[in-house]
Amino acid sequence: MIDLKTKIRDIPDFPKPGVIFKDITPLLGDPWAFEQVINTFEERYRDQRVGAVLGTESRGFIFGAPLALRLSVPFIPVRKPGKLPFNTLDQSYELEYGTDSLEVHVDAMKPGVAAVVVDDLLATGGTAEATVSLARKLGAEVIEAAFVIELEFLSGREKLGDVDVYSMVRY
């Protein structure tokens, strides 16, 4: 097992001054490290009753889709407005540097499905909170929100309330 922090690069002042962006590109460029992340997620959820994986645009797709494939469950993309071609539900949220909203197809899953929300990073929790809210609007039981990285000093997990949070790397 490698130290994943060695595969995450800090980019100062991106996307705006004062923000230190955690760049996962080096992790993705190392097939062994990337596989280690997917394997870790798979091992965590393999014996649970997960029925769907929701991945938040765009880096949540990178980790959520292979996890869903490994678990043999549907992958549900949660996207920025106007990107999904069918009827959608939407949820607004606040970022650490602005506001935005997310959408999901209205027929993405059946009510009662146990779901995992996956993204690359938990910061202030706005994006994760919006994704959990969308899953619940669809009738899902969100069993956990999973992240490669968590910026603990931003207290994002507090926004998720009763949802369990799993993160591989914490800063």
Q: Per-domain residue ranges for the chain? A: 4-170
59 in catalytic set:
yes
- Asked whether 169 and 4 are in contact (CB, 8 A), the reply is yes
Q: Of the residues 42, 57, 94, 96, which is catalytic?
A: 96
Please give the average pLDDT of every successive group of 10 residues along the chain, which has 171 residues. 94 92 98 98 97 97 98 98 98 79 97 98 95 98 98 96 98 97
Q: Of the residues 59, 70, 79, 136, which is catalytic?
A: 59
Q: What is the dihedral of CA 49, 163, 142, 167, to 10 degrees?
A: -70
Write down the pTM of the prediction: 0.94
**What pLDDT is recorded for position 16?**
87
129 in catalytic set:
no
Q: Is 64 helix (H, G, I), strand (E, B) or coil?
A: helix
Q: How many CB atoms lie within 10 A of CB 105?
A: 18
Q: How many CB atoms lie within 10 A of CB 149?
A: 21
Which architecture, in CATH terms, is 4-170? 3-Layer(aba) Sandwich (3.40)
